[in-house]
Structure 1
């Protein structure tokens, strides 16, 4: 009899048994989603550096009983000291140390800065406006989230209709809105401070839309532009001196310190990484920031984001709604970038810009710029827009960080703690 009981106990530890339990189908669905992301990365080439870790993290976290994504449990002892009662799974520890603390986004921004050439932006400063315009979707989604709760009665936050609830609604709305910047590190950094409860779906949405830029953006770009506009060839960019490239990150950092300190962590790390690159006397540090460190953090961050795609947490109406609002924000950001470029051509017809580069204002670097170049080449095989698109693209990185700083600054201004 004991042998039979042992077999039963063993059966209860198998993955098959776990999948057969109530809700087990959700884990199977999310494993399928994880495998789909891996397939898109390998077969279609959609941001493989992001989608393979995220997809694999989703597969690992949905394995029954493995607790790979479980979090470290700490308790407060009688003498006031914090005692670790149970360490979490290895991906859960990645999440606790790097995502929940906001550390990984800052390290990613340093690596992005070390890989970024602000030359195209400095050569054509008006493209900074396109990067700013593409952040419009962030605030549309913010107000849309608040409006949705007011009109429909649906609430992201469970609780009585009191002041605390109203504050929480703004927190969540701001975190959802930042998805529109298509900047995963910025979305994570903002959500950890405003709505940590929804950090998982917000991070997944932001990184998913970054990876799906080649699918989402081209139809919008073609819808808003004519064939003649897509064929516009832009003037060759002027030469940018080394002094300009070194002074730019320092000036931007000081402006941020003076005007928007809440954005300083993101802007500061971005500009620090760029100074490492442009100074030419810190090659070893620059190489580490943009290669070894960046790659290691990307692996841990991707697995951590994927760990939030567990069936019980992800397959909820609230999560689906966050994904849809984030998609709306991203699409609006793409549209406003293109439309502003068209407006700029109306105001300055002597020096036209190809409206397609406005779509690169979302900060999915460099994927958005590559998509702009690809769409432009389809209309005119001799029209190379990549370097022109990099201007608004890197401006979008700065713009999304500034937008995050504005959202974080609005909290104390509105009396929200």
Structure 2
């Protein structure tokens, strides 16, 4: 898509660079043209006043115009960038450009990675004033700063920005739950209902979450709240990671969200070597019986029963699980088709925009360009790989007790991470490399949708244990 318009892109970049240089020249010229004050004797002052009195009227308009121009240049982003002499925002802006390229040019989770990247750009532009982390310091919302404004280092006061208001939806846990309504409306739980054993594979795929939590806390020195937020990346569920992090360690929200969605996009790259390395060719050739047909009554009872069960066992997971199952009930009951379509489309799309931009805005230079970010990225990929391996290993273990003809193809175990339906498609693709006539997609969808429930439950465990 970029090859056809190389000349246009080069011209656009040249114009942007030219505009930047022009603004920079004007800014430096305005700074250098400040007139020094000259001390004169009383006689000289008198004569100067007499001479200037005749010209004052004629030059007043020119002075006003020059002062206005100087004031304008003082407010430009270039001037603020020069005055701050800080390279970190420039690095963050470049990182946002890279993420935009990955989203647009390479198709890496564009629906969320693109808004996140643009939010990162907005928050790091000098003088934009769209997001103020001071409002959310201390793990709570400082409502007085939203009402009265934020005092800047130079003593001036700035009102809360647009993204400050949008971020309330993240901080209060609204956006992730609304997204789960849309996810539920798009999810078919029939493969899980038809093969309940898939639930165990989905649970085993959360192994990486808890292993990464232990490593982050005991080896790399993250506190328990930070370790829990990092571990949840292993569930490959962006909204769950954002919801958990916003409650446990909101200062890490930017890098964790970027890691979660980046690794979701890299599922076809990360999983196949793990799957092939942990299985033999004989295991990859296992064929599974077709799934039974699931009745409409079962599909209606399932979301209600799951919500009630989770509420009785783990109430902290109810916001996510309840919204997921509400959306699924809209889909399956047959009398709320309009609500189901709204949840799948309009609601989902609007909330994704708000969520992505708000989360991206938290990636300010002072918090993102930190050694912790590298630890988060490393532990995130370890958690994701560990979850994929956990599902495969449990499937192999279950096969020790299952009779011939009822064995599970271990490749579907890696689909237990909740990257729906990408992880299931990877299981299908890897399986067909050894047997092109072996169709594992619907079998893999069982662990895949079970992983959505499993990651939400794991998040509920962390919130219940660490949130207080």
TM-based fold match above 0.5: yes
> CA distance change for structure 1 residues 21 and 363 in 2, over 3 Å: closer, same or farther?
farther
Question: Of 281, 287, 297, which aligns to 2:351?
Answer: 297
> CA distance change for structure 1 residues 39 and 214 in 2, over 3 Å: closer, same or farther?
farther
TM-score by length of 1: 0.86
Counting matched residue pairs gives 392
Cα deviations by residue, 1:38-63 (Å, 9 ceiling, x for unpaired): 22233332222122212222222222
Partner of 2:97: 35
> CA distance change for structure 1 residues 42 and 376 in 2, over 3 Å: closer, same or farther?
farther
Matches within 5 A, 1:11-410: 11-17=73-79, 24-70=86-132, 83-85=147-149, 87-95=159-167, 97-149=168-220, 155-156=221-222, 169-350=223-404, 351-410=406-465
> CA distance change for structure 1 residues 76 and 285 in 2, over 3 Å: closer, same or farther?
closer
> CA distance change for structure 1 residues 44 and 253 in 2, over 3 Å: closer, same or farther?
same
Partner of 1:165: none
Cα deviations by residue, 1:246-299 (Å, 9 ceiling, x for unpaired): 111111111112111111111111111111100010011111111100010011
CA drift at 1:20 = 5.2
Computing the radius of gyration from Cα coordinates, the structure with the larger value is 2
CA drift at 1:82 = 8.1
Cα deviations by residue, 1:306-350 (Å, 9 ceiling, x for unpaired): 212232221100122122222211111111111112222232251
Asked if the contact 2:109/2:262 (under 8 Å) is kept, the reply is no
Asked if the contact 1:71/1:93 (under 8 Å) is kept, the reply is no
Runs of 5+ consecutive residues of structure 2 not aligned to the other structure? 1-34, 36-62, 136-140, 150-157
CA drift at 1:21 = 6.1
CA drift at 1:32 = 2.8
Task: Choose 330-339 or 38-47, whichever is displaced more.
Answer: 38-47
Task: Choose 387-396 or 220-229, whichever is displaced more.
Answer: 220-229
Counterpart-to-counterpart distance in 1, 2:379 and 2:85: 26
Partner of 2:19: none
> CA distance change for structure 1 residues 374 and 335 in 2, over 3 Å: closer, same or farther?
same
**Could you say what secondary structure the match of 2:408 adopts?**
coil
Counterpart-to-counterpart distance in 2, 1:336 and 1:344: 12
Cα deviations by residue, 1:230-260 (Å, 9 ceiling, x for unpaired): 3333221111111111111111111112111
Runs of 5+ consecutive residues of structure 1 not aligned to the other structure? 150-154, 157-168
Counterpart-to-counterpart distance in 2, 1:296 and 1:72: 26
Higher relative contact order (CA 8 A, sep 6+): 1
TM-score by length of 2: 0.77
> CA distance change for structure 1 residues 35 and 218 in 2, over 3 Å: closer, same or farther?
farther
Counterpart-to-counterpart distance in 2, 1:76 and 1:252: 37
Asked if the contact 2:251/2:367 (under 8 Å) is kept, the reply is no
Asked if the contact 1:123/1:238 (under 8 Å) is kept, the reply is yes
**Could you say what secondary structure the match of 1:363 adopts?**
coil
Asked if the contact 1:128/1:391 (under 8 Å) is kept, the reply is yes
Task: Choose 242-251 or 8-17, whichever is displaced more.
Answer: 8-17
Task: Choose 6-15 or 219-228, whichever is displaced more.
Answer: 6-15
**Could you say what secondary structure the match of 1:236 adopts?**
coil
**Could you say what secondary structure the match of 2:87 adopts?**
helix
> CA distance change for structure 1 residues 68 and 376 in 2, over 3 Å: closer, same or farther?
farther
Task: Choose 320-329 or 279-288, whichever is displaced more.
Answer: 320-329
> CA distance change for structure 1 residues 10 and 47 in 2, over 3 Å: closer, same or farther?
same
Counterpart-to-counterpart distance in 2, 1:324 and 1:39: 22
CA RMSD, Structure 1 to Structure 2 (Å): 2.5
Asked if the contact 1:362/1:397 (under 8 Å) is kept, the reply is yes
Asked if the contact 1:120/1:388 (under 8 Å) is kept, the reply is yes
Counterpart-to-counterpart distance in 2, 1:323 and 1:76: 33
Task: Choose 386-395 or 206-215, whichever is displaced more.
Answer: 206-215
> CA distance change for structure 1 residues 409 and 319 in 2, over 3 Å: closer, same or farther?
same
Counterpart-to-counterpart distance in 1, 2:293 and 2:85: 60
